[in-house]
Amino acid sequence: MKVLLASPRGFCAGVIMAIDSLDLAIKTLGTPIYVYHEIVHNKFVVERFREQGAIFVDDLAEVPPGSNLLFSAHGVSPQIREQAKSRELFSVDATCPLVTKVHLEAVRYAKEGRTIILIGHEGHDEVIGTMGEAPEAIVLVETPEDVDRLEVADPQNLAYLTQTTLSVDDANRVIRRLRERFPDIAAPPKDDICYATQNRQEAVRLLSQEADIVLVVGSHNSSNSLRLAEIGHETGLPAHLIDGAADIDPAWFQGDETVLVSAGASAPEVLVEECIAYLRENFAAEVELRTVRQEEVHFPLPRELRSLVDSQ
């Protein structure tokens, strides 16, 4: 067996910042510490923090007044921030800066009086937070067919934004349809889909041309991990989204395949290493690292944590 180990893969800068933030918050503030939504969408990461005393909640009513709270990487609505303030919670904002960028764009377009078409997945934490910035002005679409069904008051006064973790191809299909129906629609000056999402998708798309099967390490509630597996499927290959080595079924392999291994932006490298070790042990796999893009992005820790550290 030959393994093509895709690079880049795994943690992006936003996930690293969020995980480092929770690590540091536990060290400096102690436990329990409450986290609004999962810190990132990965079962392994969430369980590790739960064992350390982090308590994940989906409703701030579960957080005792005066407690310490961390907002996840996916961002929250202004209403949640106000609720945290009213409960006198000490809040640490670990929102990915690329998600914050989309929030600010939503606020700007709403102030301009535009109807905002948000391309994203209903119910995703990031989408809920973004729509909360201007709920009266944002309409959610997921597919070109959703665009066909759109009814807007002023077709000349629209803008679109996208969830940061979408499939680039899927988003572009929706954007093309939006531009066909509404040629004057405004767009953000820079692509909303994050650099890491695009890079990981590009790596899977390119390297799958040399592979027989695709393994993507990541959890099933991780949007960007799901997109990587979907890209594998779209190339006509068997593609499996797995939380770790325990999910690998040996019946997937004959033993002489070329296996492409990648990981979603919220999947820890230790899980990738366990999968590689499994393939080496069971199929004598030889591993070849294949780098498609270099990544050197780094995000600073939240201001609240930097202030805490500086005061100690």
From residue 141, alpha-carbon distances to 6, 137, 153, 162, 252 in Å are: 31, 13, 16, 10, 36
Which residues lie across from 185 on neighbouring strands? none
CA–CA separation, 233 and 216 (whole Å): 11
Residue 136 appears among annotated catalytic residues: no
CA–CA separation, 109 and 102 (whole Å): 11
From residue 228, alpha-carbon distances to 92, 185, 233 in Å are: 30, 29, 9
> What sections of 89-139 are H helices per DSSP?
97-111, 125-131
Query: Per this entry, what is the length of the chain?
Result: 312
38, 105, 112, 126: the catalytic one is 126
- Catalytic site positions: 126
